[in-house]
Every structure is written in structure tokens, then in C-alpha cells.
Structure 1
Amino acid sequence: MKLEKVTDAPDGTIKRWYDDACGTALALEFVGERWSLLVIRELLLGPRRFGEIRSGLPGLSANVLTQRLQGLEAAGVLTRETLPPPANVQVYALTPWGYEAEPIVMALGRWALRSPAHDPSLPFSRVALMLALRMMFDPAKAEGFAARIGFSLGNERYVAAIGDGGLTLVRDGIAQADAVLAGEPNAFLPALFGTTPLAEVVAGGRLSVSGDVARAAHFCTLFALPPTIA
């Protein structure tokens, strides 16, 4: 049975078609190539420069990243923008349609995390950590709790705001946070998604916390990994 054919796209690139009218097959034409969906992941919290995207995907070469960005732009998933002065730098941003992929990325991540093959020791990007908060947040645990928790991740800053049983994420705004956690992404995993209290993780030296420590510790109890399949 013929499953796939290869044709030349108008821009001269190679396009693979599955001869399948299903929307899932069409989606794979847009994001099915290696790295494409992870490029989208890195843009879900706002526009990023080429180097910022690549730093979040250390196994991705500059050449392949260029190809994926071009393909996603041609598909209408992302666009190139130039930031206003004084920055004047080019960034890549998801289109409104591109942002609609977020629930797909989140659902796929939750589904895959149930596999025993999940290895939390592998590299973990800063954007991925922030999205994991949204992915693993348990609204029932946050009932009656409100806080703004800042994350200082190298040269990147984020704030997770809890209120009315929901969680929102923004870049920057860390000066208004009730508490700030600082470290690299993998260092957060035991406190946020494991069984290790924040104080023990901080004592180990890989994380630091400033501000309202008690509120930060409570914040860390609001998340849980999905159950692993048998």
C-alpha cells in the first residue's frame, strides 16, 4: 500500500505528503519533521531571537534550525518580526494560529510523561520548565492560595502568578514577585515534581530562594506528574 509520496514544494524544498485527508496527517506536514514541534514550544511564551531558540535546543544545529524556521514560516505557524528601538533585533514569533498549538503541545507532553522511559536527568530548557508548571498545575491544590513567584533562570526571568485557582505565566516582572527562585531548570524538578521539600533542595546548593520563603515552599506543592503507566 502506498503511504507517502515526495513532491517538490513551490519554494524548492522537499515536501512529503501522506495521501491522507485526516487533519492529523496534515498537521504532521507542518510539525512532523524533527525539531519542529520543539521550536514551537520555545516560542509559546513569546518571541525569541534565533540564538535564544537554539540555546533551548542544544542538540539542534544552526543549519537545521534555519530550515525549520523557514518551513514553519511558510506554513503560517510563525513569523519574523523586528523589535522596535533600541533593540532593533530580529525575533521569531508564533502567529495567532501558531499559538493555537499550545494545547496540543501540552496534551502531548502530559501523555508522554506517563511513560517509564521519561528521564528527568536529560537537558531541560527554561521555557520547557515554565510550560511544565502550566502542564502539571493542580487547581484543587491552589484553592484559596495566591502568590507571584519569580524564576531567575540564568539571563531569563519569568513570573508565575497563582490566583482564583489558576496559573498565568509572564516574562519579566520579577521585581513584583513575592518570592524568587533561582537556578537552572533541572535543579527545580525535585522540588516541583518530585517528593523533595524546597528547603532540602535549597540546602543542596543547586537552588536559591529569596523573599517569602514559606509562600515559595507552598507554591512548590501545587504540581504533580501524571501517573506512570504500568
Structure 2
Amino acid sequence: MKLEKVTDSTKRSYDDACGAAHGLDLVGDRWALLVVRELMFGPRRFSDLRGGLPGISANVLTQRLEGLEASGVVTKRKLPPPINAQVYELTDWGYEAKPILEILGRWAARSPGHDPSKPLSAASLLLSFGTMIDMKRVGVIAATIGFRLNGEDYIASVGLGGFAARRGDLAAADVVFTASPAMIAAVVYGGAPIDIIQVEGSAQVAEWFVGLFPLPEKAAP
């Protein structure tokens, strides 16, 4: 008797009308959703994307960008002189994937196998803050927090609206953290002392901020 071939490894589509299945057609390939993650804070050059995803090869990154562009999630453009560099950025629709990253991140953080001490990018760190913030701990306080991460500046507002960050000038920040994303994560999520990172500005705001992000309880096995 001839066995039926259940799957076709060369076929990209799940050929399923379910929206979740089509979503996986769009961003389900290995690395694809993480490319979207790295673009959440604005346009990036190819080299910037590789820097945020050190495990990806140039060939695979090219394939994923081409696939995301063909799907309408990503677009590319050339910056004018004197920069003359090609950058990739999310379309308006592509930016709508942010809640997917946040919900998936919070769900996966409950896995007994999740290790928050592993390397992470600036985009991953900042998205995690939007995901993990405990609004009860925020209370009625509002502050502007600056980050210098891997040579780039990010400014974030924290208050009743939660946590929202963007790349930008740090002049208005109440406090500025300068360190690698992994070191800041070690303080916020790992309980490391705050003095392992550089802190400029209000020490009171800094201590308040790092206590806003408790990790969720692990799921029962």
C-alpha cells in the first residue's frame, strides 16, 4: 500500500484559512519574527540587523528580508546624502505586529526553560519592558527614562500609559542608564545590584524604574 505524503517540506504555505496559520506563513520562518522585532524602533541597515541578531547568517537575513518585503511587512528605501545607505523598516501594517511580540514574550517567559540571562538586543530589552511592566507598581508616578545601548540613544516614557520607547535625544530624561542590554536585564530581571551599570540623574527614579518589571511565575510542568 502506498503511504500518503502528509507534509511537503518545500511548500512554504500551510494552505489553511485560519488567520493564525496565515500569520505563520508571513512570519513563521526561523528568524523572521525576530527581524520584525529588531525593526520595531525604526529603520535599520542590514549591518544593524545582523548586529542585533548575531546568530543569523547574511544569506538567511537576506532571504527573510526578501520574504517579509514580498509579504508587505517590511519595506526598504535609500537614505539621502550624505548617508547614502539602504535601510529596512516596517510598514504601518508591520508595526501592528508589536502586540504579537509582547504577548508571545510574556507567555514564553513562563516556560521553565526560559533563561533571562542569555544575550539580548536593545530592541528585545525595550520590548520586554513594555511587556513585563506592572502597572500597580507604577502607581501615579510618571518619568522619562533614557538608555544608551550599544552606542544608540533611546528615550522612554513611563506612567499611566505604560512603557513606550523610541530612539531619540536624552536631554529631557530624568535618569539615563548606560550599559549593554544584557547588563540592564541583569539588574531589572536578575536582581543584580544597580551599581554595575552607569546611572546618570535621579537615583530615586532609577531605583523605582528597575523594580517595575517582575517576571511572571513559571508554568507548572
- Please give the TM-score of this superposition, normalised by the length of structure 1: 0.88
Q: Which residue of 2 aligns with 1:227?
A: 217
Separation of aligned partners in 2, 1:15 and 1:85: 42
Report the alpha carbon displacement of residue 214 of structure 1 after superposing the two structures with TM: 1.3
Q: Which residue of 2 aligns with 1:213?
A: 203
Q: Cα–Cα, structure 1 residues 3 and 153, in superposed 2: closer, same or farther, change >3 Å?
A: same
Deviations 1:36-72 (A, max 9, x none): 0100000111111111111000000111100100010
Q: Which residue of 2 aligns with 1:86?
A: 82
The number of aligned residues is 217
Counterpart secondary structure, 1:174: coil
CA contact (8 A) 1:4 1:18 kept: no
Separation of aligned partners in 1, 2:141 and 2:28: 40
Q: With CA pairs under 8 Å and 6+ residues apart, which has the higher RCO, 1 or 2?
A: 2
Deviations 1:58-92 (A, max 9, x none): 00011110010001000111000222333221110
**Correspondences of 1:72-83 after superposition (within 5 Å):** 72-83=68-79
Separation of aligned partners in 2, 1:190 and 1:73: 35
Separation of aligned partners in 1, 2:156 and 2:5: 48
**Correspondences of 1:144-159 after superposition (within 5 Å):** 144-159=140-155
Separation of aligned partners in 1, 2:105 and 2:147: 22
Is residue 21 of structure 1 aligned with residue 11 of structure 2? Answer: no
CA contact (8 A) 1:146 1:163 kept: yes
For 1:201, which of 185, 190, 194 is the aligned residue? 194
For 1:66, which of 41, 62, 68 is the aligned residue? 62
Q: Which residue of 1 aligns with 2:170?
A: 174
Structure 2: which 5+ residue stretches go unaligned?
none
Separation of aligned partners in 2, 1:167 and 1:17: 36
Is residue 108 of structure 1 aligned with residue 98 of structure 2? Answer: no
What stretches of structure 1 move > 4 A for 4+ residues in a row? none
Q: Which residue of 2 aligns with 1:97?
A: 93
Q: Which residue of 2 aligns with 1:122?
A: 118
RMSD between aligned residues: 1.7
Separation of aligned partners in 2, 1:122 and 1:53: 18
CA contact (8 A) 2:117 2:186 kept: no
Q: Cα–Cα, structure 1 residues 24 and 17, in superposed 2: closer, same or farther, change >3 Å?
A: same
Q: Which residue of 2 aligns with 1:131?
A: 127
Structure 1: which 5+ residue stretches go unaligned?
7-13
- Please give the TM-score of this superposition, normalised by the length of structure 2: 0.92
Report the alpha carbon displacement of residue 151 of structure 1 after superposing the two structures with TM: 0.7
Deviations 1:84-107 (A, max 9, x none): 333221110101111111111111
Report the alpha carbon displacement of residue 3 of structure 1 after superposing the two structures with TM: 4.7
Q: Cα–Cα, structure 1 residues 146 and 64, in superposed 2: closer, same or farther, change >3 Å?
A: same
Separation of aligned partners in 1, 2:105 and 2:128: 9
Counterpart secondary structure, 1:16: coil
Separation of aligned partners in 1, 2:159 and 2:79: 31
Counterpart secondary structure, 2:15: coil
Deviations 1:107-165 (A, max 9, x none): 11111110010112221111101111111111221122111111111211111211334
Name whichever of 15-24 and 97-106 sits farther off.
15-24
Separation of aligned partners in 1, 2:7 and 2:23: 15
